[in-house]
Amino acid sequence: MKNDVLCIGMKKALKDIGVLGLICFCASLIAYGQKHNNFWYFGNQQAIDFSNGQVISVSNSQMQSIESSSSYSNPETGELLLYTNGQAIWNAQHDTMPNGGGIWGHQSATQGSIICPLPGSKNLLYVFHIDKNGFAQLYNGSLNYSVVDLNLDDGLGDVIPTQKNIELMSNSTEKVSIIKHTDGCGFWVLAHKDGTNEFHAHHLTDKGFSETIVSAVGTVHEDTASTSTVGEMSVSLNGDKIALVVHKQQLIEIFDFNAENGTVSAPIKLQGEEYDYGIEFSPNGQLLYVSNFGKNGSLRQYNLTLKTSSEIEASAIKLKENEEDELRYGGLALGPDSVLYVKRSTYELFPDSLGAILSPDSLGIQCNFVPNYIYVPLNHGAHAYGPELNFSNLMGNNALPLQSNCNFTPVKHSELKKPTPSAPLSKPTEEMNENTVLLKSTPD
C-alpha cells in the first residue's frame, strides 16, 4: 500500500489532532520507507546526509570514485551501514571491510554498483557491481554480486568468502536498477545486456535468486564502441516505468515494466543529444529529466503525459545550458526529500556544489532548478582521472519496507540460491515482438 493511501486512510482516525498532526504522521510513514537512502557517498570523498530532515554535507568518506558508488543505511534507524565504488566496500566506521577489497567492478561504470537487502533478512545485503564494459574493462563487463553479512567483524559487516564476486550476467551495459516485486516480498534486479536489446530481470527472494526473465525489446545497444554502454537507467517511483539513455546512439527510451512478472514492454523512442548521460523521473512519474555532459551540456525536461513519441520529444524544455567553460551535467538522483539532485562537473574544475530541482513535479521553469544548491567539499588531491559524474546508485525511495506477511524463511549462507547462467539467444532484432519473453531460467 502506498504511503499517500495510508495517510488518507488515517485521516478520519486522526481528525482530533488536526492538520499538523496528520502531516507529521504522514511524514513519519514516508520516512520509515526511505531511511535506507539517508546517506549518499560518491565522488572524491564526497557525501551528503538526509537523516535530520534536511540535506547537509559530511566529510568522513574514504572513497574515491568517478561514477560508480552506492550506499545503504539501516531502514529502521537510518544509520549508515556501508558504501562502495564497485571495487571495494567500506563499513560504517569508514574502513575497508576485511574481505571488502578485490571486488569485481569498476569505479568508472555509470551505475556500477547498487545495494539491497536479502528479502526478510536484517543482516544479509547483496552488493551488485558492474565492470566497466569497453576500453577499461577488467572482468569482461559482467554484472556480479557479493553478499555482506552485517553480523561479521563484530557487527560492522564483511563479505562472505563463498558469496563474493559471483557473476549474475555477462556482457552487461553500465546500467542496473532494483525494483520491488508486486507481491512486496522480493526484488527484481534489472540490467541490460550489451550488444543486444535484452533486459534481464533477476528475481531475488528470501532464498536467493529464483527466475530470470529476459525481454527483447527496444534498441540494440551496439557493442562496437566503448561508450555504447554508458548512461543511466531510471525507474519511476511506483515501479511501472523505466527510462534509459543509449549514450553512443543518442537515444532516450521509455518502457513499461511489469513488477509482477518482470517483463519490459511498450518502448517509446526519443531522439537524444550527443553526450546524454543522466536520466530520472519526477516523483509523480509525469515528467522525465535528462542531463548532458558534453561541452555544451544541458539539463532538459520532457512531458510524459503526452500521447506520442513525437509530442514528448517536442515538449523538451532546456532548464539549463552550459554557461561556464567545460561545465557538464552528470548523474541525476531523486532524494528522500523529493528534491531531484544534479551532479555537475568539468574536466578542469570540480564544483564543490550540487544542483537541485526543487519542484520536480512542476512543468517547465516552475520546477525551480538551482545550479548551486548545496556545498559539498571534495578532496581535489584524491582525484583519479576524468570528471566525477555520478551519485550513489540507490534503490527507489519506496522500495522498502517489504510486506510484513511474506512468510520469509531464514537461510544459511551456504543455502542461498545462486543464479543459473542464461542460455545464449539468437541475435535480436528490433522487429521481434516487443512483449516477447525469450527466456525464463531457474536455478538448479
Dump pLDDT digits (tens) for 365-382. 999 999 889 998 876 554
C-alpha cell at 184: 512486496
Report which residue type is found at 354.
L
Name the pLDDT band for 14 (thresholds 50, 70, 90): very low
Contact 201, 190 (CB under 8 A): yes
Q: Is the pLDDT of residue 31 over 50?
A: no
Amino acid 433: pLDDT: 36
Amino acid 347: pLDDT: 57
Place of cell 545550458: 321
Amino acid 188: pLDDT: 97
Query: Comparing 388 with 87, which gets the higher pLDDT?
Result: 87
Q: Is the pLDDT of residue 11 over 90?
A: no
Amino acid 240: pLDDT: 97
Ordered by where they begin, the domains of the chain are 1-37 (no CATH), 38-441 (2.120.10.30)
Pair type for strands 276-281 and 264-271: unpaired
Mean pLDDT of 229-233: 89
Q: Report the chain's mean pLDDT, rounded to a whole number.
A: 83
Amino acid 386: pLDDT: 45
CB atoms within 10 A of CB 18: 10
> Tens digits of per-residue pLDDT, 273-324?
988 999 999 999 999 999 998 877 889 999 999 999 999 999 999 998 656 5
Q: Is the pLDDT of residue 228 over 90?
A: no
Name the pLDDT band for 443 (thresholds 50, 70, 90): very low
Amino acid 155: pLDDT: 98
Amino acid 211: pLDDT: 93
Cα separation, 106 vs 117, whole angstroms = 22
Q: Is the pLDDT of residue 384 over 70?
A: no
Mean pLDDT of 208-230: 84
Report which residue type is found at 80.
L
Q: pTM of the prediction?
A: 0.87
C-alpha cell at 328: 557538464
> Tens digits of per-residue pLDDT, 138-155?
446 789 999 999 999 999
Query: Comparing 422 with 166, which gets the higher pLDDT?
Result: 166
Query: Comparing 322 with 396, which gets the higher pLDDT?
Result: 396
Amino acid 385: pLDDT: 40
Name the pLDDT band for 98 (thresholds 50, 70, 90): very high
Q: What percentage of the chain carries pLDDT values higher than 90?
A: 60
Contact 58, 51 (CB under 8 A): no
Q: Would you call 356 exposed, middle or buried from its count of C-beta atoms within 10 A (0-12, 13-18, 19+)?
A: buried
> Tens digits of per-residue pLDDT, 100-144?
999 998 888 888 899 999 999 999 999 999 986 544 444 467 899
Q: Is the pLDDT of residue 224 over 60?
A: no
In the beta sheet, which residues pair with residue 205?
Answer: 208
Rg (CA), the chain: 20
Amino acid 192: pLDDT: 95
Chain-centroid distance of CA 412 in Å reads 28
Report which residue type is found at 362.
S
Asked whether the CA dihedral 130, 201, 169, 269 is positive or negative, the reply is: negative
Q: What percentage of the chain carries pLDDT values higher than 70?
A: 78
